[in-house]
Structure 1
Amino acid sequence: MSTAALPTDISTIPTKRPFNFGRWFSQTGWRHVVGVVMVIFSLFPIIFVISSSLNPNGTLTGSNALFSTIGLDSYIRILNDPQVPFMPWFGNTLIVAGITSVATVFLGALAAYAFSRMRFKGRRFGLMSIVIVQMFPQILAVVAIFLLVSTLGDWFPSIGLETHAGLILVYLGGALGVNTYLMYGFFNTIPKDIDEAAKIDGAGHARIFFTIILRLVAPILAVVALLSFIATVNEFVVASVLLTETDSQTLAVGLTKLVSNPRYADWSAFSAGAVMAALPVVALFLFLQKYIVGGLTAGAVK
């Protein structure tokens, strides 16, 4: 039994270099600094709104010193004020945003599957049209949307003005284009061999889509649902045009009434409403966070 000889020359053993702050900062340290600055920059508006919502005076004057005064008067006032139907606004927002996000995901997935897996006349023109239409902001079509919904309301009152169904249809028309193109890139990353194997076993397009493809593209579906939900909750222009009655309005439209009069603006109650309106978005984001990174990056490279 023989053993290998151990090296006797200790000069060949690498030694750990002493810590050099300049070298560390030039390689990785500056990234930490940039990250900390960006986190502070992103969190400051949120902290300021929370501090403002806890200000019992109802103004922004005392909010310059963060959390100088703390009270729940603003939350109690906005929840109990009969002239501010916060809970109906909150319910309307959840209904409109929830239905819009689910319908956007379902219809967008159907369109993306067709563009990705099927070859038909006008396919390339359809994809280019989706991209070109997104170049124009939605505010350019506000007048046309109002006239269209108003005319449809004369024939079908259930989707006319002052109806949530009409607002949802408008949101679907504006969101399907960009979301379809986003999901189209992700669908292309799914190997077509899976489809061919399923077709050999006798499966049709509907069965392949609902039983196989939807499970594989779950990350992008979660991302589209989250983006659609956030966009619908924050949307103001179209909702303010189509919904003018107080009881049918959403939070984005209703809360502006608290600050529409500069002399009697209740910024503290407005901030409290904004904080409570953000809770469903935060909850949905935390629930879908495991899908977000994969859904945003996997479709970037085919």
Structure 2
Amino acid sequence: MTEDRIPHAETTVGQNATLVVSAGGTDEQVDTAIAGTARTKPARPERRRGFGKWFGATGWRHLIAIVVSIFAVFPILYVVSASLNPHGTLTGTNQLFSSIGLDSYIRILTDPQIPYPMWFANTLIVASVTGLTMVVIGALAAYAFSRMRFAGRRVGLITIVVVQMFPQLLAVVAIFLMMSAIGDWFPAIGLNTLTGLILIYLGGALGVNTYLMYGFFNTIPKEIDEAAKIDGAGHARIFFTIILRLVAPILAVVGLLSFIGIVNEYVIASVMLIDPEKQTLVVGLTKLVSNPRYADWSAFSAGAVMAAIPVVVVFLLLQRYIVGGLTAGATKG
């Protein structure tokens, strides 16, 4: 008699709920019956996948990620080890961190014959001013090409693309002669000036960055502009209050790439800047190892490690704009 009154362990959730409802039970009793049946239902043991199936599904990705990480991190470790080696030679740094010391960092910061602080400051000034100016002017030009219709618009876009096919290195001689002539009339923007170098950098990379931002501006729905125009907003207000917030990711990418490219640029900076105190980091550090007999590789490595700090800081500051897409959910549908 007892076995007939006890419900079987394999009774389904729907059967228990039906019995309670048919007996005139309340909603709370129905929920209790469902929860009780779910607890009494035996759980099936999970089958563990073999190593072969796991490796074929996701394991090979972890292996490739580890190999790529080692390949990318090893040069950084080697440079850091060379900067901490007080002997100043690359042959003594084959064993990583065999000897550790801060002599190279102290020497490059305090030696009067190595104006490293001036190189560092010049690089930050040129890279920061050029990057910010390039982002502002490029965004204005991209907005005009994307939202406005005017004579010569198509020809201007094609010209930007065609000009970028020729590397700036081909124009080094022309740039030197032009800046030398300009320096005779306007010494503030001629040779051996940071202002002249900034102007050259702006002219060289402004076209490709404008075209890059132009493609991103086209992805912003034009309905946003039309809604703002109905409320009485003009182009300036739409651009500075609405569009700039939506295109923040591409502005961050352009600014970061411009900053990194200018910090690492050597050819034009070596032609433009002659005074050692006005040179940039790349030009100045190259002189430390230009003579193989007296090359100070330890000081060079120390300077390279410190030169990488601003790039890392800028990347960390702009990371949230690069990763996140701010245009999601701007319009319905």
The TM-score normalised by the length of structure 2 is 0.84
Comparing 266-275 with 17-26, greater Cα deviation is found at: 17-26
The yes-or-no answer on 1:149 pairing with 2:179 is: yes
Is the 1:112–1:181 Cα contact (8 Å) retained in structure 2? Answer: yes
Give the C-alpha shift of residue 75 in structure 1.
0.3
2:56 match: 26
2:318 is aligned, of 260, 272, 288, to 288
Give the C-alpha shift of residue 73 in structure 1.
0.4
Please tell me the residue identity of whatever aligns with 1:44: F
2:208 match: 178
2:135 & 2:148 partners in 1: Cα distance?
Answer: 19
2:220 match: 190
Give the C-alpha shift of residue 242 in structure 1.
0.4
The yes-or-no answer on 1:210 pairing with 2:231 is: no
Give the C-alpha shift of residue 17 in structure 1.
2.5
Runs of 4+ in 1 over 6 A off after TM superposition: 4-7
Deviation by residue 1:74-131 (Cα, 9 ceiling, x = unmatched): 0011011111000011100000001000000000000110111111222222222222
Is the 1:53–1:269 Cα contact (8 Å) retained in structure 2? Answer: yes
1:186 & 1:14 partners in 2: Cα distance?
Answer: 51
The yes-or-no answer on 1:259 pairing with 2:304 is: no
1:91 is aligned, of 121, 130, 137, to 121
2:199 match: 169
Is the 1:233–1:252 Cα contact (8 Å) retained in structure 2? Answer: yes
The yes-or-no answer on 1:17 pairing with 2:23 is: no
1:175 & 1:273 partners in 2: Cα distance?
Answer: 27
2:12 match: none
2:64 & 2:212 partners in 1: Cα distance?
Answer: 30
The yes-or-no answer on 1:277 pairing with 2:307 is: yes
Comparing 119-128 with 240-249, greater Cα deviation is found at: 119-128
Comparing 80-89 with 150-159, greater Cα deviation is found at: 150-159
Give the C-alpha shift of residue 54 in structure 1.
0.2
1:54 match: 84
1:201 match: 231
Root mean square deviation of aligned Cα:
2.1
Higher relative contact order (CA 8 A, sep 6+): 1
2:72 match: 42
Is the 1:74–1:272 Cα contact (8 Å) retained in structure 2? Answer: yes
Give the C-alpha shift of residue 201 in structure 1.
1.7
1:90 & 1:25 partners in 2: Cα distance?
Answer: 48
Structure 2 portions without partners, runs of 5+: 1-19, 22-32, 329-333
Give the C-alpha shift of residue 49 in structure 1.
0.5
1:120 match: 150
2:30 match: none
Structure 1 portions without partners, runs of 5+: none
Aligned pair count? 295
2:48 & 2:131 partners in 1: Cα distance?
Answer: 55
1:138 & 1:73 partners in 2: Cα distance?
Answer: 39
Give the C-alpha shift of residue 6 in structure 1.
6.6
Matches within 5 A, 1:200-239: 200-239=230-269
Matches within 5 A, 1:129-148: 129-148=159-178
Give the C-alpha shift of residue 15 in structure 1.
5.1
Is the 1:62–1:69 Cα contact (8 Å) retained in structure 2? Answer: no
1:63 match: 93
The TM-score normalised by the length of structure 1 is 0.93
Give the C-alpha shift of residue 294 in structure 1.
4.0
Q: Which has the larger radius of gyration?
A: 2
Comparing 183-192 with 87-96, greater Cα deviation is found at: 183-192
Give the C-alpha shift of residue 14 in structure 1.
6.2
Comparing 34-43 with 122-131, greater Cα deviation is found at: 122-131
Please tell me the residue identity of whatever aligns with 2:292: P
